[in-house]
Chain A
């Protein structure tokens, strides 16, 4: 916050600077690709074509985007309350458990239009419950939420392995997975819905839950900026002492914000379990909870920003897979490196380019003013 960024117009601050940061990251990635003897331009082209250039790529990109929207929003809403929720991974895991248990219990008796809200509610309830314990410990016992949410990730892993291996596994099967849900318990895939209206696309994991993800964005925006509770939440996040003076209840806010955060993270389970795999299995959160932190940082904790950042990460994930597939010398480790560079430049070093962009902008303004003065004289 050294140079006064307030001087910059909004479009530069939230539009141009992120683009510059991404370009810098891609430049460094390009140098690395060059160093291992591949053509960086070609590699970038494969990545972008693989993510956005054809139906299947777009489907996978948007499927990843769905997960990132959920975890990005989860981190964002906690951040507005001044909390750092690192437990998205565990909340997603337990949320998925909730979805799975609900569908396994009722998929033979209830129709789809009842199972849909049931799945959403179960994912939200389990995710929220998993976040509520660290929240309560933070609010009433002062245990730091960063530590407790990380630890709860590990507890979630252990709980899931125990349940999948000992209780929920389909008997006589090697892989620790539950039975497949009945058709009523499966969200329709996007390619199935499009086939219904006569459009044929390649099957991808993209499903109805992306609509729910976008609805959640609207909901989170309305909650944070258009309700009393949201106002109270932001007040506590900005300055707890002042908020108390104004009549806010920080303890309630901590618990409420974390419950909403956990519920949002739990929807990753809704996408993965009810939308993609149609069975309970292990390891489905696959790091989306942690990536959500970067998504939220990059999206400046605003739902619109989160959607854009999620899209970018979706492109990186899908394009990265495509790159590893097409170019044998580019391994999955190198793809992770490229993803890491983008996170580094747009998250951790987000303000690195601000000072010189400000300087350029000032120079531009001065030059314009000078030109205008010369014209006037």
Chain B
């Protein structure tokens, strides 16, 4: 009862705001706990919205949450101020977006890495398992010992999705490959613990690993440093991290959250913003493996050919990469 009243009022206010300035938008972004300078996921979003601001000159509101309850508070505040569209970053914001989007049916919301099924919400998820499959293949082909490693951040389903795709890719390239997996920690600090990342990586090297893939946010910098120190190979994640240590960085699993963030604001400005579900995989360019001047010496023509072949097969549907999140299991 109360909710409906509030919704009506808010709707009316928002409508008035939209009519007043039809061509301008007032976008807003709510970053998650990692913060906008985490060198990884949130920073990707930050890059995207900054690019939007530079190109269009339209300023946006932003907030970085520090605890569970602030997500809903911040998103509701943005909506109350008439921000539109509102961009939520990370799967943890799903319940918050769901609650606020119901209260403000006239406002537009975009959630990255999560799905909210409402008529005013755009959900963008990435097929990380497909990108991880490709870098898994590269890791297996580059490994001389037949053992490759995986260092995850926090042990949550999303990271298991990365791990599962990676293992499948490695096995696709070399059925006898051994994959050693470690998770960094059990609290959100696992996303930014380079010291522990380095320790885990050294442990994996001691067990014979010679290529390691990090899907651990800021923790990855420690993983790459350890690989450089030991003269082994490492694979970056989310952003193209090949430039960090040329000669050590074998490749990166690129996840274009910056494009998703930019597109959300840009499409709202152009009037092409649409609600609904988007899964950005290899076919859409949402995920990919990175090849540039920093790592081209490490990638042989044979590796490149077979990865590109697998990529085409995945896009064509000839190779099915199992998505951990579809059933919360990973086939062995």
**Chain A residues near B (Cβ < 8 Å):** 60, 63, 154, 157-158, 160-162, 165, 169, 171-177, 191-192, 195, 200, 202-203, 205, 272, 276-277, 279, 281, 283-284, 286-287, 321, 324-325, 328, 331-332, 336
Q: Which B residues, 148 to 206, have Cβ-Cβ distances below 8 Å to chain A?
A: 154-158, 185-188
What is the minimal beta-carbon distance from A331 to any residue of chain B, in angstroms?
Answer: 7
B328 in contact with A325 (CB, 8 Å): no
What is the minimal beta-carbon distance from B238 to any residue of chain A, in angstroms?
Answer: 17
Mark each residue of chain B from 84 to 119: 1 if its CB lies under 8 Å from any CB of chain A, else 0.
Answer: 000000011011000000000000000001110000
B64 in contact with A324 (CB, 8 Å): yes
Cβ of B69 under 8 Å from chain A: yes
27 example contacts (A-B, Cβ-Cβ < 8 A) are as follows A63-B69, A154-B186, A161-B155, A161-B156, A161-B186, A162-B155, A162-B186, A165-B155, A165-B156, A171-B327, A171-B328, A172-B325, A172-B328, A174-B94, A174-B158, A175-B91, A175-B94, A176-B156, A192-B2, A195-B2, A203-B3, A203-B6, A203-B76, A205-B69, A286-B67, A325-B74, A336-B66
B154 in contact with A284 (CB, 8 Å): no
B64 in contact with A332 (CB, 8 Å): yes
A165 in contact with B35 (CB, 8 Å): no
Cβ of B272 under 8 Å from chain A: no
What is the minimal beta-carbon distance from A67 to any residue of chain B, in angstroms?
Answer: 10
Q: Which B residues, 181 to 240, have Cβ-Cβ distances below 8 Å to chain A?
A: 185-188
Chain A contacts for B66, CB-based, 8 A: 286, 321, 332, 336
What is the minimal beta-carbon distance from A314 to any residue of chain B, in angstroms?
Answer: 12
Provide the bound-state CA to CA distance between A237 and B12, in Å. 61
Cβ of B277 under 8 Å from chain A: no
What is the minimal beta-carbon distance from B25 to any residue of chain A, in angstroms?
Answer: 18
Q: Given known contacts A161-B155, A321-B73, what 4 new A-B pairs fall within 8 Å (CB)? A: A272-B68, A277-B68, A321-B66, A332-B35
Provide the bound-state CA to CA distance between A325 and B77, in Å. 9
Instruction: Identify A165's interface contact among B6, B76, B157, CB under 8 A.
Output: B157
Provide the bound-state CA to CA distance between A245 and B2, in Å. 63
Cβ of B56 under 8 Å from chain A: no
> How many residues of B are in contact with the other chain, CB < 8 A?
39
Cβ of B273 under 8 Å from chain A: no
Knowing A175-B94, A332-B35, say if A169 contacts B328 (CB, 8 Å).
yes
Knowing A63-B69, A157-B187, A287-B67, say if A191 contacts B91 (CB, 8 Å).
no
Cβ of B22 under 8 Å from chain A: no
Chain B contacts for A192, CB-based, 8 A: 2
Q: Which B residues, 1 to 54, have Cβ-Cβ distances below 8 Å to chain A?
A: 1-3, 5-6, 33, 35
Chain A contacts for B91, CB-based, 8 A: 174-175
Chain B contacts for A195, CB-based, 8 A: 1-2
Provide the bound-state CA to CA distance between A177 and B64, in Å. 22
Provide the bound-state CA to CA distance between A15 and B35, in Å. 38
Knowing A169-B157, A174-B325, A175-B114, say if A331 contacts B74 (CB, 8 Å).
no
What is the minimal beta-carbon distance from B201 to any residue of chain A, in angstroms?
Answer: 21
What is the minimal beta-carbon distance from A10 to any residue of chain B, in angstroms?
Answer: 36
Provide the bound-state CA to CA distance between A325 and B113, in Å. 24
Q: Which of A162, A174, A176, A284 has the most CB of B within 10 A?
A: A174
Residue of A nearest to B185 (CB): A157
Chain A contacts for B156, CB-based, 8 A: 161, 165, 176
B92 in contact with A175 (CB, 8 Å): yes
Chain B contacts for A174, CB-based, 8 A: 91, 94, 113-115, 157-158, 325
A283 in contact with B187 (CB, 8 Å): yes
Provide the bound-state CA to CA distance between A26 and B212, in Å. 48
Cβ of B70 under 8 Å from chain A: yes
Provide the bound-state CA to CA distance between A119 and B229, in Å. 52
A161 in contact with B154 (CB, 8 Å): yes
Provide the bound-state CA to CA distance between A173 and B117, in Å. 13
Provide the bound-state CA to CA distance between A281 and B68, in Å. 9
Cβ of B262 under 8 Å from chain A: no
A172 in contact with B186 (CB, 8 Å): no
B68 in contact with A60 (CB, 8 Å): no
Instruction: Identify A283's interface contact among B35, B188, B326, CB under 8 A.
Output: B188
Chain B contacts for A165, CB-based, 8 A: 155-157
Instruction: Identify A276's interface contact among B69, B188, B326, CB under 8 A.
Output: B69
Chain A contacts for B327, CB-based, 8 A: 171-172
B62 in contact with A283 (CB, 8 Å): no
Provide the bound-state CA to CA distance between A140 and B151, in Å. 40
What is the minimal beta-carbon distance from B4 to any residue of chain A, in angstroms?
Answer: 12
Chain B contacts for A154, CB-based, 8 A: 186
Cβ of B63 under 8 Å from chain A: yes
Provide the bound-state CA to CA distance between A161 and B66, in Å. 19
Residue of A nearest to B68 (CB): A284
Q: Which B residues, 259 to 294, have Cβ-Cβ distances below 8 Å to chain A?
A: none
Residue of A nearest to B94 (CB): A175
Knowing A174-B91, A174-B157, A283-B188, say if A331 contacts B67 (CB, 8 Å).
no
What is the minimal beta-carbon distance from B331 to any residue of chain A, in angstroms?
Answer: 17
Provide the bound-state CA to CA distance between A177 and B157, in Å. 11
B68 in contact with A286 (CB, 8 Å): yes
Q: Which of B69, B115, B185 has the most CB of A within 10 A?
A: B69
Residue of A nearest to B92 (CB): A175
Chain A contacts for B5, CB-based, 8 A: 200
Chain B contacts for A287, CB-based, 8 A: 67
Residue of A nearest to B72 (CB): A205
Chain B contacts for A161, CB-based, 8 A: 154-156, 186-187
Knowing A174-B113, A174-B158, A195-B2, say if A157 contacts B328 (CB, 8 Å).
no
Chain A contacts for B113, CB-based, 8 A: 174
What is the minimal beta-carbon distance from A322 to any residue of chain B, in angstroms?
Answer: 9
What is the minimal beta-carbon distance from B35 to any residue of chain A, in angstroms?
Answer: 7
Chain B contacts for A277, CB-based, 8 A: 68, 95
B2 in contact with A200 (CB, 8 Å): yes
Chain B contacts for A332, CB-based, 8 A: 35, 64, 66
A324 in contact with B63 (CB, 8 Å): yes
Residue of B nearest to A180 (CB): B95
Chain A contacts for B187, CB-based, 8 A: 157, 161, 283
What is the minimal beta-carbon distance from A315 to any residue of chain B, in angstroms?
Answer: 15
Chain A contacts for B67, CB-based, 8 A: 283, 286-287
